[in-house]
Structure 1
Amino acid sequence: MIKHKSSLKNIIDFENIHINYEVGSPVLENINLKINTDEHWAILGANGSGKSTLIKLISNDLYPNTKYPFKKKVFGKDIWNIFEIKKNLGIITNDLHTYFETQGKFSTAYEVVLSGYYSSIGIFKYHDFTKEQHEKVLEVLEFLEILEIKDKKVHQMSTGQLRRCIIGRALIHDPKAFILDEPTVGLDIKAQNSFLKFIQKLSTRASIILVTHHIEEIFQEITHVALMHDKTIFKQGEKEKILTSENLSEIFEINIDLQKENNRYYIKSIGQ
């Protein structure tokens, strides 16, 4: 059962959203999306379909900028401070992972998680922490199943270990939901399997919004799927109704034979 800090029903409530980077060049068109707190979603689409832009829309890094009337609510609010929304919504991207690899490589696992209190890359002398906050870091590391590497530095970690630390950095705030952008990128087969099992565990603590182009990342607990194609949401709804060979063939523009076994989806064959 998902444990939420709030009884708010909607995580995301978007209607008729359009975004242009410049006049005449839409990057998202007619986005309609409603995600509730008792659901886990996968947002699936090919590269260039608009998935990354949708993440920026959800996180308030982008805002609708066209003449069309729209609704844009996150956790029931129209306007959020970016730092406040990220306490309620853990956003885990590969850009953040890369930033820690380059700018925070001498931080320990403990410090990466602790830095979540200040949304910083690293810990600085002027940062002040309570005893309770330090205790929370240890609890999070234990939940992440990496307590034994708490003193290990980022540059010594595997890709999977660092990714868990970055999730822990968000988990320190007990967010209501997580957005995970291509979470198994850079992981070998064994590490992918381990990480997906961890995400299943994470789904007991918060709603999961998985953004991916990999069918095999869609784990059993995912309840709903949104398919992105050509800068909009092609179809959305309950997983079993949306994940079909016909729909995937449409959004990936190639014939796909989708199969399901042991509650997991996989592509049996790809044709022309």
Structure 2
Amino acid sequence: MRCRCDNHGACRSGFHPSPAYGVRPPRPHRNPHISLPNPFAAADLSPQAPPPLIELDRATVVRGQATVLDALTLRIVAGQHTALLGPNGCGKSTFIKLINRELYPLAREGEAPVKVMGQQRWVVNELRARLGVVTGDLTRDLQDMPHLDVETAVLTGFFASFMLPSDAEVSEPMRERAREALQRVGAGALIARQVTEISTGEMRRVLIARALVHQPQALLLDEPTAGLDLVAQRDFLQLLKELAGQGITLVLVTHHIEEIVAEIDRVILLRGGGVYADGTRASTLTSENLSAVFGGELRVRREGERYFASST
């Protein structure tokens, strides 16, 4: 039986042993990346500055004979709302699993390939207090729990598990924090509902409330509008805009450019396990770049503060 923690690579007591990936296969051939000026390269990384929120230094992940991430290097600092955009198979999900400690990069000498807030290793409860994670896997795991109501689902965020541990002591301040988080995301009326009874859009809000009980510094969101109808998508994107305005750093992982709200002004395009382009929305979300990244002719248009892509 697998553990009930919400991080399949780390338990409350520490970390599972990292998997062995064996020998790295030859580097796959790719076309040269387009080099765009990076307005974020001059971020203050001096010893006096706080460490980056997320830092990958030549992180490589190999699964079987496939190089999933190929010496990926990037830094995201606190307050820098960022989107990682790319097609399926470009390394987006692997990036999340690296940060979430579900996967580990190839070991090498020197600096750690992956750091979160300056640390290589975290106990999952401590990490969750600083970085909230909302993924589709977490949605399914919580919905698989029998007789789980929304309030309890949010309370599990305090324990980094899919269910309340048998020895859990849920205090009244915890319950109050859970109620406040649900109200904050516009889901207060759902508190007594079963998670199996609510819509996909409502479940996304519950997951964000679950992440917010710790008042984290940042939220890592994986395809957050997947499965939402047009109205639910609009309302959810409005919630993201509000959270960004409240000082929570957003890190959005997606393959839909329309999810990239105006508050997110850094976009990293991924292709073949590496960075293809990195810069502002205006400099990266171009027809040329997206056609190259997604492997087909695309036309990008801007309507107000949002970007859209369509086939030519």
TM-score, normalised to structure 2, is 0.79
Would you say 1:201 and 2:278 are equivalent positions?
no
1:133-165 CA distances to partner (integer Å, 9 max, x unpaired)?
121111111101111121111111111111111
Cα distance, 1:227 vs. partner? 0.6
Deviates more, 1:249-258 or 1:55-64: 55-64
Query: Could you tell me which of 177, 184, 192 is aligned with 1:136?
Result: 177
Structure 2: tracts of 5 or more residues without a match: 1-48
| C-alpha distance in 1 between matches for 2:228 and 2:95 | 24
Work out whether residues 16 and 69 of structure 1, in 8 Å CA contact, stay in contact via their aligned partners in 2.
no
Q: Distance in 2 between matches of 1:124 and 1:12?
A: 30
Instruction: Give CA-to-partner distance per residue, 1:74-94, whole Å, 9 cap, x none.
Output: 101122223422321111110
Instruction: Give the whole-Å Cα distance in 2 for the aligned partners of 1:38 and 1:155.
Output: 35
In the alignment, residue 73 of structure 2 is paired with which amino acid? Answer: N
Superposed counterparts of 1:189-268, under 5 Å:
189-203=230-244, 204-267=246-309
Partner AA of 1:258 in structure 2 = V
Does residue 58 of structure 2 align to residue 16 of structure 1? yes
Aligned equivalents of 1:145 and 1:38: distance in 2? 23
Deviation at 1:57, TM superposition (A): 1.2
Q: Which residue of 2 aligns with 1:187?
A: 228
CA contact (8 A) 1:10 1:35 kept: yes
Aligned partner of 1:78 in structure 2 is 120
Q: How far apart, CA to CA, are the structure 2 residues paired with 1:132 and 1:100?
A: 23
SS of 2:267's partner is strand
Name structure 1 gaps, 5 residues minimum.
Answer: 1-6
Equivalents in 2 of 1:73, 1:213: separation in Å? Answer: 24
Give the equivalent residue in structure 2 for 1:4.
none
- 1:68 to 1:239, Cα distance in 2 relative to 1, 3 A: farther
Residue 69 of structure 1: how far off its partner (Å): 5.1
State the 1:253 CA deviation. 0.8
CA gap of 1:122–1:230, structure 2 versus 1, over 3 A, is same
CA deviations 1:58-101 (Å, max 9, x no partner) are 22222221547554221011222234223211111101101112
Partner of 1:94: 136
Q: Secondary structure at the match of 1:65?
A: coil
Distance, in Å, in 1 between the alignment partners of 2:288 and 2:233 is 27
Change (3 A) 1:125 1:16: closer
Residue 3 of structure 1 corresponds to which residue in structure 2? none
The structure with the greater share of residues assigned to strand is 1
**Residues of 1 paired with 2:185 and 2:157: CA distance?**
15
Equivalent in the alignment of 1:103:
145
The whole-number CA distance in structure 1 between the counterparts of 2:172 and 2:145 is 27
- In structure 1, the residue corresponding to 2:53 is in which secondary structure? strand
Q: Is the 8 A contact 2:56 2:73 kept in 1?
A: yes
Residues of 2 paired with 1:125 and 1:12: CA distance? 33
TM-aligned CA deviation for residue 255 of structure 1:
1.2
**After superposition, what is the alpha-carbon deviation per residue over 1:190-240, rounded to whole angstroms, capped at 9, x for unaligned?**
111111111111222411111110111111100201111111121112222
1:86-142 CA-to-partner distances (Å, cap 9, x unmatched) read 3211111101101112225x2221111111111222335532122211211111111
| RMSD over equivalenced CA pairs, Å | 1.8
Give the match's secondary structure for 1:201: helix
In structure 1, what is the equivalent of residue 5 of structure 2? none
Matched residue type, 1:138 = R
Deviation at 1:175, TM superposition (A): 1.1
Say whether 1:51 aligns with 2:92: yes
Partner of 2:18: none
Which letter does structure 2 place at the counterpart of 1:18? T
User: For residue 152 of structure 1, what is the aligned residue in structure 2?
Assistant: 193
Could you tell me how far apart the structure 2 residues matched to 1:161 and 1:40 are?
24
Q: Deviations over 1:32-70 (max 9, x none)?
A: 111011210111000111110011112222222154755
In structure 2, the partner of 1:123 is: 164
What secondary structure, in the 3-state scheme, does the structure 1 residue paired with 2:192 have? coil
The 8 Å contact of residues 61 and 82 in structure 1, kept in 2 or not, is answered as no
Higher helix proportion (structure 1 or 2) = 1
2: CA distance, partners of 1:68 / 1:230: 24
